[in-house]
Amino acid sequence: MELRPMRSWIHHSKGKVLRQAGTTRDKLGLHEDMMTRQGFEGRDAHLYRRNEPIRWKRADEGGELLDFDGTAVQPDDLADAGGFPRPIAYNEDVTVSVSRRGANMTYSVRNADGDELYFVHQGTGTFYTEFGPIPYEPGDYVLLPKGTTYRVRPAGPVNYFLIFESADELSLADIGPLGRRAPFDPALLYVPTPALDELGDGRNEEGEWPVRIKSLGGYTSVYYDFDPIDVEGWKGDLFPFKMNIRDYRPIMSDRLHVMPSAYTVFMTKGFLLGNLLPRPFEAAEDAELIPPYHRNMEYDEFTFHHAGTAMQVEVAPASVSLVRRGRHHGFLAELQKKLRANVKPGDRIDMQIIFLDVANPLTVAPELQAAQRRGEHYSEGTVAKEGAPTQSSS
């Protein structure tokens, strides 16, 4: 975010508290509950409760934690080479869409409304851009700046992309005192070199090369009798690139749980986008393995489960969750106890989760609403019967 949140060293402690938050809660026999502003960067309060704040009896519609089966979303481009991705959630700053393209595009596309960031959940192939080809594989982020002409060429029929379209220019997050080579080295970015297309795809049935231009939320097309992606050279500081989550090295602490905002990769003034990736469990004697209960007062929290478990709890790939601001989320006590009992020295967290924290509330599209799971929730941490909330990225 451009506006840095207020920081204060004037703190008060009243009643029973842990002097160091996030350490062994068994010392108090109480449940630690975080209330935060500006995600985890602003002012906060830690409350120590007798009862679990997520164990409500029931919730009105709109008050529940939302869990969706992302594999149930079937965009037009799954079966139609000329089809579009499917928006699943949006606000004025970002639109989240799903693409499951099964064949080469019969057109090229140019987005004049904003940057596009593809996250590759499944599939291999190539983004054929006017800057040059960008090969893709699972775990890739592919950033296509506003105005870039491109088309997607899958290597096979099974592909799944999560697309984030940003109204503002996407930038890499400020890594501050970590230096310029952490949590990833910019030398690992893949930057394309021009290469002319030899396959001749991107054409319609009439043999024309259409370019669909997105502007003001809609599309119009222009048509060429030659391939408009015909660049033989480029220079400048505006270009597409890709990076893979395996090249991101999570910030870790042996003694304290590091909060998700530390894993932000991309950001604008309206949202943070990052990843929770494999790392060792905290191993110090007084370290708390599990994040406290949390209610984020500024952001809606959207997450996509790419692979692995959520701290040893099974989660279906392509699970999508949404936690509205002000809602408590976290692990139920019995799951916390089970996890602590099962973790051995040297054990690792194997989760691969993409998170999006948005300042303006997200609207859930009907296509995603239709994929909502009820009765059993498989969000990022808790497998629980209806009425028992689920774990979020925080």
Which of 267, 22, 294, 250 minimizes the C-alpha distance to 168? 267
Which pLDDT belongs to residue 243? Answer: 97
Which of 4, 242, 11 minimizes the C-alpha distance to 117? 242
CATH number of 74-245: 2.60.120.10
Cis amide leading into 183 (omega within 30): yes
Which pLDDT belongs to residue 7? Answer: 65
Which pLDDT belongs to residue 331? Answer: 83
The residues spanned by each domain of the chain are 25-69+248-385, 74-245
Reported in sequence order, the residue ranges of 216-317 that DSSP labels E, i.e. its strands, are 218-224, 241-244, 264-267, 271-276, 279-280, 293-296, 300-307
Which pLDDT belongs to residue 223? Answer: 98
Which pLDDT belongs to residue 298? Answer: 87
Which pLDDT belongs to residue 217? Answer: 92
Residues of the chain with pLDDT under 70: 1-7, 25-26, 62-63, 375-394
Q: Which CATH number fits domain 25-69+248-385: 3.40.50.300, 2.60.120.10, 2.60.120.260, 1.20.120.1200?
A: 2.60.120.10
Which of 160, 50, 26, 19 minimizes the C-alpha distance to 101? 160
Q: Measured at the alpha carbon of residue 240, what is the angle toward residues 234 and 243, in degrees to the nearest 5?
A: 130
Three state DSSP letters for 101-134: CCCCCCCEEEECCCEEEEEEEECCEEEEECCEEE
Which pLDDT belongs to residue 212? Answer: 98
Domains 25-69+248-385 and 74-245 fall in the same CATH topology: yes
Instruction: Report the predicted TM-score, pTM, of the whole model to 2 decimal places.
Output: 0.89
Element (H, E) at 368: helix 366-369
